[in-house]
Structure 1
Amino acid sequence: MAEKHNFATVVGYNQEQTKYNQITNTFRKLISPDIQNPDAAEDPSLHTVSRNAYTLAGRALFGRVSYNFAEKYFVESNLRYDGSAKFTEKDRFVTFPSFSAGWRISQENFMAGTKSWLNELKLRGSWGKLGNQPSSIYPYQATMNTGKAPYLINGQQIVYIDPPGLVSPYLTFEKARTWNVGFDGTFLKNRLDVTFEYYNRKTTDILTDGSASFPTTLGTAAPLENSGILETKGFELSFLWKQTINADLRYRVGLNLSDYLTKVQHYAANTSMMITNSSGREVMYDGKTIGEIWGYRTGGILQESDFAGRNPSNGNWIYNGAYQGTLYPGYIWYQDLGGPEGIPDGKIDAGLNTLANPGDRVVIGNSTPRYRFGITGNVQYKHFDLDFLFQGVLKRDIWAGLSSYWGGGAGSKWMYERSWTPDRTDAAFPMYGSSVNVQDRYLINGAYLRLKQAVLGYTLPQEMTKRFGVERLRFTLAGYNIFELTKIPTIFDVDQISADYPQKRSIAFGAQIVF
């Protein structure tokens, strides 16, 4: 009976320290560029010296205890005690525990009747907590920078010292608690593998700037704070089917699907429930779904007939905050959804920029990629083999607010050919280069299916290659980003909606020789 009990334990200690020191010397007006000597200068007083130095340190004590009985019941416990020099002494060390358990239910006697179709089934679950640190070096210290002013007083440049920035004296680790349940199964004489996992992650003490808590007249950067609670729910599902037909043909096909959605349960730094901060960047607020896209409802494209009897220089008959300036035929107009009471108020604006008074803006979509999937496959027939990978997203909204897309600078031919002109008043897009705000009409459906990779190979028979002293000779033809099924404009790469990442496809031919 004792041999059925299996214990394992691990105890460890980790300590890290990083010291960085950089000194930069700048020499100006050297007599000769070939003489790199600070004395060989017309005016040595112009030389400058700058220094950058910091020290980072971390320490951790960790341990693990695991137990299983008869390779049927599994329990494991982990404990970490982490410390970081990025926090004050009183908030420097935090304990992070985790637990997991598994049950190979297929090994139970009452499952004996399933052996004809069930090879393996394991139920599992876990709970654990981990911590994250800020990327900044000294986030809890109010540092000051020095420099020389760009003007002279009594013929001398004045050295200045910046006032210290704002810091929070209560910074500590960002904490992520996660629990999950799932199963791993093998069916039909080991031909089908299925894995499923559902998880729930709650992140507390979120490390974020507190810009929503301070007025625009603050005069300095908002401090980093532990503020708010995020909750993420998601799942991962995968299938793998593998089969050997005969000695010449075998194949395997896999499918994986995952999804998640994150919501803000609480964000203490935004008590006024602002939608964007003073820089126009969206911020978190209680109840927010991460990835929300706020925008206007599109009314259409202005035509010349819309200006009959109106002064085109007075844009306030359609716009108040969304667009200020002269309107022209070919410009977009937006729907007047009204003020806080929902009654049209004759103007288009962002209201008070709060959840209670967003003006004419509403949530028009979500940029989070939903239902990501991948399809992998391998087919081998005699001396031929084929590997392929499809990937894609089933649901996603994209707002492409790039000047390279809309025009106004280095625009695109794709957009120019689809933009409004006096001779093309039924065009899908407004006048090329006109001001365009975030709106529902021009949200891009970001769903796609892409053949990411396909590799076709052929291996010459050994009885042929050995005549030339070659053990193995294999030729391959590979293609990458071969094609997509999508509504995303072809000027964008479906994975990177950016002007910096244009669509790219490639084909490669190769050979592998083993002597």
Structure 2
Amino acid sequence: SNSRYIQRDGLLVNDLADFNLATGLNYRLTGGGYEWSTAGIFYRANYSFKDKYLFELNGRYDGSSKFPQAQAFGFFPSASAGWVVSEEKFMERTKNWLDNFKIRGSYGSLGNGNIAPYTFLETITPLTSGVIVNGNFPNYIQKPAVLPDELTWEKSTTLDLGTDISFLNYRLTTTFDWYQRKTTNMITSGQPLPSVFGSAVPKGNFADLNTQGWEVSLSWRDKIGPNKNLSYGLRLTLADNVSAITKFYNPNNLLSSYYEGQKLGDIWGFETEGFFESAADIASHANQSYFVVSNANKLLPGDIKFKDLNNDGKVNNGKNTLNDPGDQKIIGNSSIRLPYGITGDLGLKNFSLSFFFQGVGKRDWFPSREAAFFWGQSNRPYSFLPTFNLDRWTEQNPDQNAYFPRYRGYTALSGTRELAVPQTRYLQNASYIRLKNLTLGYSLPARITNKMKVSSIRAYITGQNLWTYSPMYKITKNFDPEVIEGSDPEINANGGDGFSYPMQKSFTFGINLG
């Protein structure tokens, strides 16, 4: 793959993007390219004995040029087995109500080689300095990165145990899976290097992750009515998983980085106690000068009161380590927990109706510093003002039940400003339920389609994203909980500021000819 990048400013006519019409002195011409290849073989073998005992073996042997020659190949086998218990003789008495009962299990591994080419090679990168020397921006060569001792395939090994059960002539069906996945040799940055070293931290197989979870589904399908002309079905799905880091280089267990034992998504923050009511209230409270409220950093009534969890007379982040977090604690988790779905359909004569609800049962979200749709002018005073920001403590109305503290600019923007630090008061419950799809259809009777020389004609109307509810909507509806992790890439692609286009409500009308 090859790439070229050309840039020049000073365009004379904005609507005519042509380099001949660009007169600016600032221009940039860069290029790049890379090559990589993969090779592999795989096998699969299965065996069934009397449709009761099922066995299967799989395996892959993959190689990638992205890894050093000695670690380029990896073997990833897997095996599975199933037992159809309902086919055993001792289950014959259950035939009138139990249609299928299957126990199954699998154990296997997969490899991940998704890294940049040449990671294991000492490459040099030509760059242009941002400092002007003798009227020019001089070019320089960046020092090669330190090479890791080993760099090979990331490996995920999964144990899965499950059941499939059907009852009452297959009208009621349920499945359940429990799994544990161990991901080893994760490719991450290694031990930090001194800033004066002048080279980037090497990437290698430095981390491990353990994930444990389960999935369950329950479905019912039947026909009712005098002529069994009303058919209906309902399916429920629910799942959950938790991932924890089991290996990562962080000897001091700094909370600003990953650490061993950490659950992915954990949010460390402070507990709030409301607003200061008076100067006496401020004087009697623990010192919280750690939090910045203004340039002078003078607390006033209406500012946020943070709780002194360790009772040491001051509120801060301690050493910001797992052993000394100061007054921080885990206040929530941003991972998606308990995702669920509800699917249903109804058919009566020539009419059909189907729907799909989806949702998340548990998820926390703390608005980042750039979440301007949440913080409004507390982010930047010249920003816009969301109406819910008016629910604020003021000297004219010193309401302890107000949502926001006294007005101060920039308090949500950066550093340890009182609204920028994660805290319980503004932690949002981002769980939700959404009517994702609703379809109503009608099929013309056969006596009509036969005259028209077609086998079927069906007209339908479909609505997408018709209704959503989230506990967060009690505070603000400025964010879509389904895509709330999105960010403005021009500010911070991983910032979690909620700058994502919401899922659009749409309607579609169509006709199917068969």
- TM-score of the two chains, using structure 2 as the length reference: 0.83
Indicate how the Cα distance of structure 1 residues 219 and 115 shifts in structure 2: closer, same or farther if over 3 A, else same.
same
1:425 equivalent in structure 2 = 398
Counting aligned pairs with the same residue, the percent is 35
How many residues were matched structurally? Answer: 477
- Counterpart check, 1:495 vs 2:478: no
Indicate how the Cα distance of structure 1 residues 126 and 347 shifts in structure 2: closer, same or farther if over 3 A, else same.
same
- Is this contact kept in 1: 2:279–2:300, CA < 8 A? no
Q: In 1, distance between residues paired with 2:258 and 2:356?
A: 36
Q: In 2, distance between residues paired with 1:297 and 1:378?
A: 46
- Counterpart check, 1:297 vs 2:274: no
Aligned partner of 2:308 among 336, 345, 348: 336
Q: In 2, distance between residues paired with 1:346 and 1:240?
A: 57
Residue identity in the other structure for 1:496? V
2:223 equivalent in structure 1 = 244
Q: In 1, distance between residues paired with 2:212 and 2:23?
A: 67
Listed one character per residue, the Cα deviations across residues 129-175 of structure 1 (whole Å, up to 9, x for unaligned) are 11112432222223222134455656665331112233313111111
Indicate how the Cα distance of structure 1 residues 411 and 291 shifts in structure 2: closer, same or farther if over 3 A, else same.
farther
- Is this contact kept in 2: 1:293–1:366, CA < 8 A? yes
C-alpha deviation, 1:125, in angstroms = 0.4
Residue correspondence of structure 1 range 393-408 to structure 2 within 5 A: 393-401=360-368, 402-407=371-376, 408=379
Residue identity in the other structure for 1:389? F
Mean Cα deviation higher: 328-337 or 146-155: 146-155
Q: What's the secondary structure of 2:93's corresponding residue?
A: helix
C-alpha deviation, 1:258, in angstroms = 0.5
C-alpha deviation, 1:221, in angstroms = 3.9
1:17 equivalent in structure 2 = none
Listed one character per residue, the Cα deviations across residues 219-261 of structure 1 (whole Å, up to 9, x for unaligned) are 5543223123211111111111111224421011101111111
Gaps of 5+ in 2: 413-418, 487-497
Residue identity in the other structure for 1:406? W
Aligned partner of 2:445 among 450, 457, 461: 461
2:109 equivalent in structure 1 = 129
Indicate how the Cα distance of structure 1 residues 500 and 158 shifts in structure 2: closer, same or farther if over 3 A, else same.
closer
Residue correspondence of structure 1 range 18-97 to structure 2 within 5 A: 20-23=1-4, 50-97=30-77
C-alpha deviation, 1:327, in angstroms = 3.2
- Is this contact kept in 2: 1:405–1:411, CA < 8 A? no
Listed one character per residue, the Cα deviations across residues 386-427 of structure 1 (whole Å, up to 9, x for unaligned) are 110111222222212223211224455243132323334321
Gaps of 5+ in 1: 1-19, 277-282, 339-343
Listed one character per residue, the Cα deviations across residues 193-220 of structure 1 (whole Å, up to 9, x for unaligned) are 1111110111111222236x44666655
Indicate how the Cα distance of structure 1 residues 260 and 151 shifts in structure 2: closer, same or farther if over 3 A, else same.
closer
Indicate how the Cα distance of structure 1 residues 24 and 505 shifts in structure 2: closer, same or farther if over 3 A, else same.
closer
1:511 equivalent in structure 2 = 510
- Is this contact kept in 2: 1:398–1:446, CA < 8 A? yes
Q: In 2, distance between residues paired with 1:457 and 1:57?
A: 49
Aligned partner of 2:243 among 253, 258, 262: 262
Aligned partner of 2:427 among 443, 457, 475: 443
Aligned partner of 1:101 among 81, 85, 96: 81
- Is this contact kept in 2: 1:140–1:169, CA < 8 A? no
| Superposition CA RMSD, Å | 3.4
Q: What's the secondary structure of 1:234's corresponding residue?
A: strand
Indicate how the Cα distance of structure 1 residues 368 and 148 shifts in structure 2: closer, same or farther if over 3 A, else same.
closer
Task: Point out 4+ residue stretches in structure 1 off by more than 6 angstroms.
Answer: 25-34, 40-43, 45-48, 307-310
- Is this contact kept in 2: 1:460–1:472, CA < 8 A? yes
- Is this contact kept in 2: 1:62–1:81, CA < 8 A? yes
Residue identity in the other structure for 1:302? F
- Counterpart check, 1:320 vs 2:278: no
The structure with the largest strand share of the pair is 1
Indicate how the Cα distance of structure 1 residues 197 and 42 shifts in structure 2: closer, same or farther if over 3 A, else same.
closer
Q: In 2, distance between residues paired with 1:449 and 1:37?
A: 50
1:3 equivalent in structure 2 = none
Q: In 2, distance between residues paired with 1:217 and 1:123?
A: 59
Mean Cα deviation higher: 219-228 or 447-456: 219-228
Residue identity in the other structure for 1:353? N
Q: In 2, distance between residues paired with 1:28 and 1:405?
A: 35
